[in-house]
Structure 1
Amino acid sequence: MKKPFFAFLLIVVTAIAIPAAGLWLTDGQKTAPKKEEKEPTVEVIRSDTQKTESVPLEEYVAGVVAAEMPASFEKEALKAQAVAARTFILTETLKGQDVTDTVDDQVFKDEDDQKKMWGADFKKNKEKIEEAADETEGEVLVYDGQPITAAFFSSGNGQTENAEEYWQSAAPYLISVVSPWDESAPNFEQELVLTKQEVEEKLDVSLPSSGEVGTVVDKTTGGRIGSILIDGQSFTGREIREALGLPSADFNMTVKGSDVIVETKGYGHGVGMSQYGANGMAKEGKNYKDITAHYYPGAEIADVQSFLK
């Protein structure tokens, strides 16, 4: 998922179309009982065709969970991801944003995509993920009565990040919290080898012939690079991460011959819910509400339908 305040879709429900905050709501026949109301739908721009498809909300949520979190994760972690995905789409819908099926928003995979991804495990994985969506049906996260920006990422460095220290935009529920479960993630620590020339060109700097690159000026609350001086130029950790395509803004760079060795901790921007952290909490017996309460402090569970009226 790409951006701080991600893009989410258009939600539709049937009969008399009533525009409200970017949504079109319908109730089926006026005389039809509530149970016959059609499910809200999400408008997704599919990256392979560049065409917009209408997907039932809960099917969309399951497709996001399938794409964004390993099906092998604990059920409670998958349920936390389902609530985050549903909240994400609601928030963007209320902003009137278009939504794609890519990391620019939330990755979404339909049934055909899932069959290709899972092969022989398709049926088992699909059932597990659909259960996670069904068991949290309609649940979204709110703060002060408004849907939150439910940011999430793969794994952290042992702490999450304050939103304003990565995106320069604060949110009271996107604050740094401990996330010790990240250490069990396979991508917790990584080493990348880049050429010295590549780094110099991408950062427009001259690197030393050997030794550590740059001087760290300060670190963020979450332990990532806040700012670093390289060849007299000041960079944020995010700028270095994005320019060099690093997994994380928690890094250390060393020149060795014609190469630059980059050591990183964590994978992702570090804001919001750590997916491996969620799985670690679930393994310890925590439920999805415990998980979302930890990673989105102060946020509460609410019903998506209350925002569709």
Structure 2
Amino acid sequence: MNKRKHTYYSNSVPKSWKKKKSSLKKQLMKKQQNKLEYTKTQPAPLKKIIPLKNRKTRYFDNRNQSTWKFPTALLFSGLLLFILVIPAVIVAMFGDGKQEDITTHEKEMEATVEFGGSPFSVAVMRQANDTVEDIPLEAYVAGVVASEMPATFELEALKAQALAARTFTVNHLLHGDAEENYDLTDTVKHQVYKSEQELKQLWGKKFTENMNKIKEAVQATEGQILTYDDAPINAAFFSTSNGYTENSEEYWENEVSYLRSVESPWDLDSPEYLGRETFTIAQVQEELAIDLPEGAPLYIEMERTESGRVSNIAIEGNSFTGREIREGLDLKSSDFTVTQNNGHLIFTTEGFGHGVGMSQYGADGMAKEGKTYEEIVKHYYQDVDISTITETAPTLVSK
């Protein structure tokens, strides 16, 4: 027992990744320093101080008031009363007495942007009530964008999300596993979808503003999908990267030409960038189904991918992929470090999501810099084209 090795982390991180990671963190620190310096250098607003002896005392009495002010006020009041009352009297006399079907409040809650015709409908399994709804494609895409990306994001980022959501849908309908009576679920198994009624409850008074913005993004990309070699792509997306997206084969099994690791420095400003989870040794044993010694530091080795995420990890000889640890312990990212303290393992993560494809916070960052949705999707999905559904998937359109 006295010869037991203490915690060890392998130095297998690629040197190129270390330099890139250091550069990204320096960018973030520089941004924060600039904000601090700006705040310090701003002068406090000057207040005009009037000496007490120079202040004039005002008297609110009837001295020096003009004799014409009272009749004028009376005349103005009478005119205002006439303007307000007469239209109501006319409506009462000549109106048909019918009430509008929609109240003013309900009208305010209706989104005004409408779509053209959708080429087909999508059969969506609604998990809450275990029913299948046939939803026109563009309305479905709007419900997905509203559920998967914050409505506060830039319009160009929302357009990129609409394009990714529509492409995912078409690709799944063409190549995905067919279910007995539906095409997709409304959960993270496929894409999260909420109806307008659900979104009204979620957004409240913001519904009309948010939904019109979402529909504008969907309408701007209506009928468009992303293709590679004239076929719809697997338009994977996630919340926040660690500064780089991941190569597809590092997280999934297959290498995909358009799902390559690219820089995404905008994610450093995401509120989801850093995370931390603490587990007892007993919890780790239970979640990972392994036996670990108690009362001594654990021997841990790690290997990392080109993007800096954990590819493989060995805990006391028990081997896992970074993905297995992330999913087994429900971590936000597979880019993590592990520290040990008083019988606990502390996992610190960078990024949120699997890391493959388009980063949503990265897309928003690009949009804030003036990039268009075409530039955004072509950054995260390498060498793709923007095509139409009618050209690429005529069999779906002819349903």
Bin of the TM-score, shorter chain as denominator length = 0.7 to 0.9
| Structure with the larger strand share | 1
2 CA distance for matches of 1:197 and 1:119?
Answer: 44
The answer (yes or no) to whether the contact 1:210–1:257 under 8 Å persists in 2 is: no
Q: What SS class does the counterpart of residue 184 from structure 2 fall into?
A: coil
Change (3 A) 1:263 1:39: same
Match of 2:292 among 206, 217, 236: 206
CA offset at residue 211 of structure 1?
5.4
Task: Name the residue aligned to 1:6.
Answer: none
1:178 aligned partner, one-letter code:
E
1 CA distance for matches of 2:379 and 2:148?
Answer: 20
The answer (yes or no) to whether the contact 1:205–1:230 under 8 Å persists in 2 is: no
Please tell me whether residue 47 in structure 1 is matched to residue 127 in structure 2.
Answer: yes
The answer (yes or no) to whether the contact 1:213–1:255 under 8 Å persists in 2 is: no
CA offset at residue 233 of structure 1?
1.5
Deviation digits for residues 178-222 of structure 1 (CA, Å, limit 9, x no counterpart)? 111110110101111222210122221315646576211x21122
CA offset at residue 304 of structure 1?
1.0
The answer (yes or no) to whether the contact 1:209–1:255 under 8 Å persists in 2 is: no
Question: How many aligned positions are there?
Answer: 273
CA offset at residue 47 of structure 1?
0.8
Match of 1:162 among 236, 247, 252: 247
Ranges in structure 1 where 5+ consecutive residues have no aligned partner: 1-35
Q: What SS class does the counterpart of residue 263 from structure 1 fall into?
A: strand
2 CA distance for matches of 1:291 and 1:212?
Answer: 43
1 CA distance for matches of 2:347 and 2:295?
Answer: 16
TM-score (norm 1): 0.85
Map residues 86-97 of structure 1 onto 2, 5 A cutoff: 86-96=166-176, 97=178
Deviation digits for residues 98-152 of structure 1 (CA, Å, limit 9, x no counterpart)? 3100000000111111112111111100000000000010110000100000000
1 CA distance for matches of 2:257 and 2:166?
Answer: 20
Ranges in structure 2 where 5+ consecutive residues have no aligned partner: 1-115
CA offset at residue 288 of structure 1?
0.3
Match of 1:113 among 189, 198, 212: 198
Deviation digits for residues 63-85 of structure 1 (CA, Å, limit 9, x no counterpart)? 00000000000000000000000
Please tell me whether residue 302 in structure 1 is matched to residue 387 in structure 2.
Answer: yes
TM-score (norm 2): 0.66
Match of 2:331 among 231, 236, 246: 246
Map residues 209-224 of structure 1 onto 2, 5 A cutoff: 209=295, 214-216=300-302, 218-224=303-309
Change (3 A) 1:115 1:37: closer
1:202 aligned partner, one-letter code:
E
- State the Cα RMSD in Å: 1.6
Match of 1:291 among 376, 379, 382: 376
The answer (yes or no) to whether the contact 1:156–1:268 under 8 Å persists in 2 is: yes
Change (3 A) 1:78 1:208: farther
1:156 aligned partner, one-letter code:
S
1:205 aligned partner, one-letter code:
D
Match of 2:219 among 130, 134, 151: 134
Task: Name the residue aligned to 2:343.
Answer: 258
Please tell me whether residue 83 in structure 1 is matched to residue 156 in structure 2.
Answer: no
CA offset at residue 235 of structure 1?
0.8
User: Deviating runs (4+, > 2 A) in structure 1?
Assistant: 36-39, 207-213
Task: Name the residue aligned to 2:66.
Answer: none
> Looking at CA atoms only, which structure, 1 or 2, has the larger radius of gyration?
2
1:206 aligned partner, one-letter code:
L
How many percent of aligned residue pairs carry the same amino acid? 49
| Structure with the larger helix share | 2
